[in-house]
Chain A
């Protein structure tokens, strides 16, 4: 399957600072990328859908001014957690989608563990 990478894999930041997480599709062009958040012992929660060259669509309850998403190219999307607080500590996972033959595929990155102190 296709490869999606995330950077960094782990990050620790102080409360009030901003953190940027990168998501790259390494071997295919992803017209759409998705960002998820996962708290311990819980399922993945979709935060937003990002289409290349347009504004992201956020799920209900997700603050767009706090979680800034940029999808400047078909292989890169970034999520910036602004003014991070301890409650933003979570596992952030991106996925990239594209057509594989006649069917739709979605590939997930390995995740980024964010800890806000």
Chain B
């Protein structure tokens, strides 16, 4: 499965959009991009996933570049409860998820 690279930490002002980048330059054509987040001492929570088209749901938007080598998770109006570690995962033909180090997002009042 493709590896992902994310910045270790980011800050975002409350109410502003949080844009979390992820590089997955070795992704192959049938591999999906998944985003999960983990609030301290809890299990990961599913956010969104996509293959090549941009996706939006009630939690976030996922923007995938045309060459699929990177993506951005957008939380449109960050709240204090969005403070968490965000993981970008590329899932291949197998069902396993291999987590990288993620981005620790801190939403500042």
Contact = CB atoms under 8 A, between A and B. Distances in A.
Interface of A: 1, 4, 6, 32, 34, 36, 43-46, 49, 91, 93, 95, 97, 103-111, 113
Given A103-B49, A104-B91, A43 B99 contact: yes
Q: Which DSSP category, helix, strand, loop or mixed, fits chain A's interface?
A: strand
Interface in B79-107: 87, 91, 95-102
A106 B35 CA distance: 11
19 contacts: A34-B97, A43-B101, A44-B99, A45-B99, A46-B96, A49-B95, A49-B96, A91-B41, A95-B43, A103-B49, A104-B95, A106-B34, A106-B95, A108-B36, A108-B43, A108-B45, A109-B43, A111-B41, A113-B41
B75 to A, nearest CB: 18
B95 A97 contact: yes
B102 A43 contact: yes
Nearest to B38: A44
Contacts of B95: 32, 34, 49, 97, 104, 106
Contacts of A105: 46
Contacts, number: 54
Contacts of B100: 43
A18 B95 CA distance: 29
Nearest to B100: A43
B97 A46 contact: yes
Contacts of A6: 43
A44 B38 CA distance: 10
A108 B36 CA distance: 10
B44 interface: yes
